[in-house]
């Protein structure tokens, strides 16, 4: 079931990419910024589809016991794609969709922060496994800070449950890693700002599934 959903998200990205490259340039609109065929909107939808596919694969990787470093880079890539979506959305400024755009950006920002906090948890676990105890505390402490802020802002029950679960998990790891570093690690805990530039870049695990309009299997109507 999961593999089917991931494939459908990749196919969705392929359809948006096809429209962006082959159809949108040929359409002359008086106000293309308010259209679903706007290049920015199509690119946003394409990136969101792939980001969501990677997010699902990252969750599966956790269940399969992948190494924390691999999971972290998968989640970092998802967070980076959400950041790209936010950047693109800033170019949509029409009054007719301003309210929707603000709500959309707020939602994507929360998703980016949540996924990034999860990436920090797995970066912390990776450091701990490599006996970098001080650094592991830095990452888990920052993750705890982000999740706490998200929890305080949360108003949706379903989202709150996910955040609260992650927050409880993160808090347990923070207490454990801090205690162990104080007990036998004895490593200095660097500030997050001092190591922020050393966070690795994300690693994509899914590609766009190309859309072929001449394929007879692609029949929707």
- Per-residue H/E/C for the chain: CHHHHHHHHHHHHHHHHHHHHHHHHHCCCCCHHHCCCCHHHHHHHHHHHHHHHHHHHHHHHHHCCCCHHHHHHHHHHHHHHHHHHHHHHCCCCCHHHHHHHHHHHHHHHHHHHHHHHHHHHHHHHHHHHCCCHHHHHHHHHHHHHHHHHHHHHCCCHHHHHHHHHHHHHHHHHHHHHHHHHHHHHCCCCCCHHHHHHHCCCCCCCCCCCCCCCCCCCCCCC
Q: Which residue has the tokens 């967070």?
A: 79
What does the pLDDT look like over 121-134, one tens digit per residue? Answer: 999 999 999 999 99
Rounded Cα distance between 102 and 66, Å, is 36
Residue 220 lies in a domain: no
Question: What range does the domain containing 10 cover?
Answer: 1-198
Residue 213 lies in a domain: no
Residue 204 lies in a domain: no
Per-residue model confidence (pLDDT) at position 159: 55
What does the pLDDT look like over 153-199, one tens digit per residue? Answer: 866 644 567 899 999 999 999 999 999 999 999 999 999 999 999 89
CATH number of the domain enclosing 183: 1.25.40.280
Residues of the chain with pLDDT under 50: 30, 32-34, 95-96, 157-158, 216, 218-221
Residue 167 lies in a domain: yes
Per-residue model confidence (pLDDT) at position 217: 55
Residue 60 lies in a domain: yes
- Total number of domains constituting the chain: 1
Rounded Cα distance between 10 and 30, Å, is 31
> Any idea what the Cα angle at residue 217 is, between residues 214 and 221, rounded to 5°?
90
Per-residue model confidence (pLDDT) at position 155: 61
Per-residue model confidence (pLDDT) at position 219: 43
Residue 106 lies in a domain: yes
Residue 219 lies in a domain: no
List of residues 6+ apart from 83 with CB closer than 8 A: 112
Long-range contacts of 19-26 (CB under 8 A, 24+ apart): 20/46
Residue 4 lies in a domain: yes
């Amino acid at each position: 079931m999961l593999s089917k959903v991931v494939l459908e998200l990749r196919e969705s990205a392929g359809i948006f990419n096809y429209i962006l490259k082959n159809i949108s340039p040929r359409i002359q609109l008086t106000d293309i910024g308010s259209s679903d065929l706007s290049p920015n909107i199509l690119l946003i939808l394409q990136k969101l589809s792939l980001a969501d596919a990677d997010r699902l694969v990252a969750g599966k990787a956790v269940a399969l016991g992948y190494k924390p470093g691999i999971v972290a880079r998968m989640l970092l890539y998802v967070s980076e794609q959400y950041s790209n979506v936010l950047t693109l959305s800033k170019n949509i400024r029409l009054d007719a969709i301003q309210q929707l755009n603000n709500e959309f950006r707020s939602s994507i920002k929360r998703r980016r922060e949540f996924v990034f906090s999860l990436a920090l948890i797995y970066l912390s676990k990776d450091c701990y496994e490599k006996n970098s105890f001080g650094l592991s505390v830095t990452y888990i402490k920052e993750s705890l800070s982000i999740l706490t802020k998200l929890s305080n802002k949360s108003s949706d029950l379903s989202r709150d449950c996910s955040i609260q679960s992650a927050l409880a998990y993160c808090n347990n790891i923070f207490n454990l890693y801090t205690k162990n570093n104080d007990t036998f690690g004895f490593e200095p805990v660097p500030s997050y700002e001092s190591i922020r530039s050393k966070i690795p870049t994300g690693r994509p695990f899914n590609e766009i599934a190309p859309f072929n309009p001449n394929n007879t299997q692609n029949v929707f109507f």
